[in-house]
Amino acid sequence: MNQRVSATFSPEKKGKKKIIYHRIRRLIVIGLVSNLLLLVLYLLPFITQAIQKMKSRPFPEIRAPAEVARKEPLKKPLGELPAFKADHLPYLYAGHSYPEDSAGIPRNRDSHYAWLLSRLDLDPGSALRFGLKDEYYTVASGETVYSIAKRFGISVAQLRVINALESDKLLPRKNLKIIKVNKQAGYYGVDVSFRQNSINWKAVHADSFPVAFRFFIIKATQGKDLSDPYFERNWQEAKNTDIILGAYHLYVAGEDPVLQADNYGSLVHLDSTNFKPIVDLEYACSTCDSLPVSREQFVSGLKKFMGRMEARYGIKPVICTTAGFYNKYLKGDFDDHAYWMVSYRKEAPAGMNLFDVPEAVRHHVCMWQFSQGCKVGGIPGNAALSFLPAADLEKLKY
């Protein structure tokens, strides 16, 4: 007689088997992920190299046709402007790359204002012209250099330099010297272009320490057919009480000067709240030291451009350039223009009456861009700052 024998696994054995299977699956997943990471790490240098090649490859259309490129960016509503990319508009040059001055002393608004007031304090006539007055303040418990500077509306750097402070820690009952200026010595401003991307202008206006900004200069056009895609937005949103706006054109040597003037004139409409028209004259790249045309050709074309601009606006444009470019291409031919000089050195540019000295010889430099690496609230990246002496304000206003 045969007996049926049935065998079953106990629950304990089934549980152990599940644990073993789970561990095996986990090891397989870990192995696959590890191999995938190793593969990515191995391919990363090749991927990076391929991306760099793609970025360095020129766009097929370096120059868009005039009828397309000239006004198309401004036809879009302000809310639909494209997000900025580093290679977004390779044919648009932001300007303000000056090789002969790029190794200067880095400065911000605070340090420049401190230097300015220290120079004013050395001039005996400054006390009368700017109403300088020395005061002394006794430090209270818990006060800092920043809080005291903000309280008196002066520069932190000035407070440190004048009082020879080695640190920001202040001992109570310490006496600090404070230079107060009752009459405005000058004004600070920022110039921007599409390179700054979308700017939060409310934050820019709120950035008022150690002194508030008084003017903003915005890139409008370039060459014979290009306009900055952010100009209209910046021009509208930068407006504020007591703010002076300026618009500049980046002149391209070798392109039709009449078309360049018309390009600017068709876009920029000025009134008494603006600066005069501004033309930016410089080399085509930060490593260039010459123009693609001869000096004679450049001067001839620029005179046609200036004549066309003066006929439209009834006034001579302001020239923005450097001392090196001025000496090489402009000196003797355009000395009757007001200049906005770019110099990242410690001292003010030659030909500038920085301290409003009454007996100073006739000067043609009215504004000084002293830094291009400053941080300003609301502006992504670095900003270029300029100083305009109070006495020269009316010379630049339209």
**252 and 293 assigned to the same domain:** yes
List CB contacts of 295: < 8 A, sequence separation 6 or more: 328, 329
pLDDT at 397 over 50: yes
Q: How confident is the model at residue 67 (pLDDT cuts 50, 70, 90)?
A: very low
**260 and 379 assigned to the same domain:** yes
List CB contacts of 340: < 8 A, sequence separation 6 or more: 278, 318, 319, 320, 321, 365, 366, 367, 368, 369, 386, 396
**176 and 260 assigned to the same domain:** no
Tally of domains within the chain:
2
> Diameter of the chain by CA atoms?
135
**Per-residue model confidence as pLDDT tens digits over 356-395:** 888 777 789 999 999 887 889 999 888 899 999 999 999 9
pLDDT at 68 over 70: no
**347 and 314 assigned to the same domain:** yes
What is the DSSP-derived secondary structure letter of residue 361?
P
Asked whether residue 66 is assigned to any structural domain, the reply reads no
Considering only CA atoms, give the Rg of the chain: 31
**227 and 238 assigned to the same domain:** yes
CA 164 distance to own-chain centroid: 31
Mean per-residue pLDDT of the chain = 81
**158 and 197 assigned to the same domain:** no
Q: What is the pLDDT of residue 204?
A: 94
pLDDT at 71 over 50: no
Mean pLDDT across 21-35: 83
Asked whether residue 245 is assigned to any structural domain, the reply reads yes
Q: What is the pLDDT of residue 7?
A: 47
* Structural domain span for residue 175: 132-181
**Per-residue model confidence as pLDDT tens digits over 165-192:** 887 788 888 999 888 888 888 999 999 9
pLDDT at 93 over 80: no
Mean pLDDT across 79-92: 43
Asked whether residue 44 is assigned to any structural domain, the reply reads no
Asked whether residue 10 is assigned to any structural domain, the reply reads no
**344 and 281 assigned to the same domain:** yes
Residues 93 and 374: their CA atoms lie apart, in Å, by 20
